[in-house]
Amino acid sequence: MSRPLGWVRWAGLLGWVAISFVPAWIGQQYTSPDWYQQLVQPAWAPPTFLFGPVWTLLYALMGFAAWLVWLDG
């Protein structure tokens, strides 16, 4: 199987990253904003301000991984 053209590859990357954020968006629609603060947290729990950037990076990397699989055919 041949690899897609240059612009198709980059459009595919954008598409896969966008698709990977859909479950995050759906989950956000059904989660209370103060849900995490209501949990009893251990002393070693990471700070609250880290969750946004870490989850964003996680979903972006999942989209990137899906793109790599797509490229490999």
**Is residue 9 domain-resident?**
no
Domain that holds residue 65: 48-73
DSSP label at 47?
P
**Is residue 70 domain-resident?**
yes
What are the angstrom distances between the C-alpha of 56 and each of 1, 40, 71? Answer: 32, 24, 23
Question: Which stretches in the chain have pLDDT values below 50?
Answer: none
**Is residue 34 domain-resident?**
no
Please report how many Cα atoms fall inside a 13 Å half-sphere around the Cα of residue 64, on the Cβ side. Answer: 6
- Alpha helices by DSSP H, the chain: 6-29, 35-38, 51-72
Number of domains in the chain: 1
**Is residue 73 domain-resident?**
yes
What's the confidence (pLDDT) of residue 2?
Answer: 64
What's the confidence (pLDDT) of residue 1?
Answer: 58
Phi-psi region of 30 (alpha: psi -120 to 50; beta: other; left: phi over 0): alpha
Measured between alpha carbons, how far is 70 from 73 in angstroms, rounded to an integer?
A: 5
**Is residue 54 domain-resident?**
yes
